[in-house]
């Protein structure tokens, strides 16, 4: 149901490096690049955007969940996040309290947002 989502970043270059790494295992990549404003997704349409902080003051955590095509992609997402220096909020596992096949990992991006990769498929 989401057409696209955009978040503001304190350090767009650091965030771009992070998202380049963690979205690759999920099949995502840079689709549009306007310097500090970058759109990620599956070509030709970006559905996730990052850019410099331009409004508001302070920080309010956002939660972004990216779909993974399979459980191996969730595992690879977490490995890429750790390699990028991210804090793991919740290690990859089944979350039966959501539904029996909800397989996910939750990490922090460079701005402190809660970023998740989730697969809803069994095995």
CATH code of the domain covering residue 11: 3.10.180.10
Looking at residue 64, its pLDDT comes to: 95
Tell me the C-alpha distance between 44 and 23, whole Å.
16
Tell me the C-alpha distance between 91 and 39, whole Å.
27
The model's pTM: 0.91
Looking at residue 98, its pLDDT comes to: 94
Domain that holds residue 94: 5-52+61-119
Please give the radius of gyration of the chain, using alpha carbons only, rounded to the nearest integer: 14
Looking at residue 81, its pLDDT comes to: 98
Q: How many domains does the chain have?
A: 1
Q: Which residue ranges in the chain fall short of pLDDT 50?
A: none
Query: Which alpha helices (DSSP H) does the chain contain, by range?
Result: 12-23, 71-83
Looking at residue 94, its pLDDT comes to: 98
Tell me the C-alpha distance between 7 and 52, whole Å.
8
């Amino acid at each position: 149901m989401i057409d696209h989502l955009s978040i503001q970043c304190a350090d767009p270059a650091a965030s771009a490096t992070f998202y380049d790494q963690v979205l690759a295992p999920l099949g995502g990549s840079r689709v549009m690049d306007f310097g500090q404003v970058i759109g990620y997704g599956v070509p030709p349409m970006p559905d996730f955007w990052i850019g410099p902080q331009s409004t508001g003051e302070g920080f309010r955590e956002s939660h972004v969940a990216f779909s993974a095509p399979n459980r191996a992609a969730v595992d690879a997402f977490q490995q890429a996040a750790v390699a990028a220096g991210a804090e793991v909020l919740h290690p990859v596992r089944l979350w039966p309290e959501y539904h029996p096949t909800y397989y996910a990992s939750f990490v922090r991006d460079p701005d402190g947002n809660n970023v998740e990769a989730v697969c809803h498929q069994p095995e």
